[in-house]
Amino acid sequence: MSLDVNKLREDFAPLQQTVKKKPFIYFDNACMTLKPKPVTDAILDYYNNFPGCHGRTDHWFGSETSKKYEEARKKIAKFFNTAYAQEIIFVRNATEGLNLLANTIEFNPGEVVITSDIEHNSNLLPWQLLEKKKKIKRLIIPTNPDTTFNLDKYRERMTSEVKLVSMLYTSNLSGITFPIEDIIQIAHKNKAWVCVDAAQAALARPIDVQKLDIDFMVASIHKMWGPTGIGLLYGKKELLDGLPQFLAGGGTVEDITYGSAKISPLPDKFEAGLQDYAGAIGAGAAVDYIREVGQKNILEHIQELNVYATSRLSEIWGIEFIGPQDARLRSGISNLWIEGIPVADASRILNESENIMARYGKHCLHSWYNSHKKPDSIRFSFGAYNTFEEIDVMVRSLQDVLKFFRH
């Protein structure tokens, strides 16, 4: 099955709109993906037809909510091939999942957490805070100049003191994908756990947690054509069973007295209070939709878009890309600097003149930009519903911007 982009676009309502008689061109998919109609329909179905509480009542609304909520969990578990559905814990986003782990894994004095130097702030700050509290030591593996992973340096620095490797799968800085299978194998040989930040990878790259032998994984559904405010933490059942609660409250206990509590088993143990039932149900619809479109088709299309965009942008003098020269290694991301042009102004003019939505800044990677003394960049990140014609509009518009600034 090949991707019919025009047909796909019909399911994404924002792309049907116009402003100043021009359509929207959305190139900020690394931050947030758009949501197709089957996902928004599933969310409205909950609110309109069975807006109840899961696990607390047996009336019609409550029963239907519990049924659909657990169906969504099973769909996501199947999507990532977990051994048990209860290994999927619903959280707000990948950030909350990482914080849950940072606050529940018991570290002994001197134990080490390894990350790379291009981790998102969400996979840096929780470990940085633990280090400041003197609960862990941190070790940062520097990537190569083109942001590819340096396996040799990783092997050299892996010791028996390493308790956890917390590493991205695909980078939101450059789009590079790490050799996660090798990373996991090396860690496990040294008896370290691995947490995979799959936020940028989960939409387009099939992830089989059992085949890869992943210990923990986090993902944000808003980067997977799903709703905002819902994400997941995956963990091997025996590991999650061994962790204490992160948040305590309603829904997490089977019984309680004024002085003691009987904690619920997975997944309720980690899902305190009323959850985002509409979001979870929307997440289930999102993975159904991704399966229908096909991850292979999604990845191939965004790589082809990036190859084309890189070729066209390279015609412009003064363009410098972050990451490998081979655009296929950057997934759907073209993150770049333009000599002599303030990227904030370029981004604003593209938006105001042609409704082109990109992102400029440090992309939640301040540490990398600061350590390399690099200025803000502008990032174009492509989705399966984007077209080559949209890239042509972007390049022409950018050339007009350059004429203004370089006149």
Active-site positions read 364
Omega of the bond leading into 227 within 30 degrees of 0 (cis)? no
Please provide residue 28's backbone torsions phi and psi, each rounded to the nearest 5 degrees.
Answer: -125, 40
SS3 string of 126-158?
HHHHHHHCCCCEEEEECCCCCCCCCHHHHHHHC
Using DSSP, state whether 173 is helix, strand or coil.
Answer: coil
> Of how many residues is the chain composed?
407
DSSP of 203-255, one letter per residue? Answer: TTS---HHHHT-SEEEEEGGGTTS-TT-EEEEE-HHHHHHSPPSS-STTSEEE
What CA–CA distances, in Å, run from 300 to 2, 89, 90, 382, 384?
A: 10, 30, 29, 12, 9
The conformation of residue 28, written as its DSSP 8-state character, comes to: B
State how far the Cα of 168 lies from the Cα of 166, in Å rounded to an integer: 7
| β-sheet bridge partners, residue 196 | 167, 217
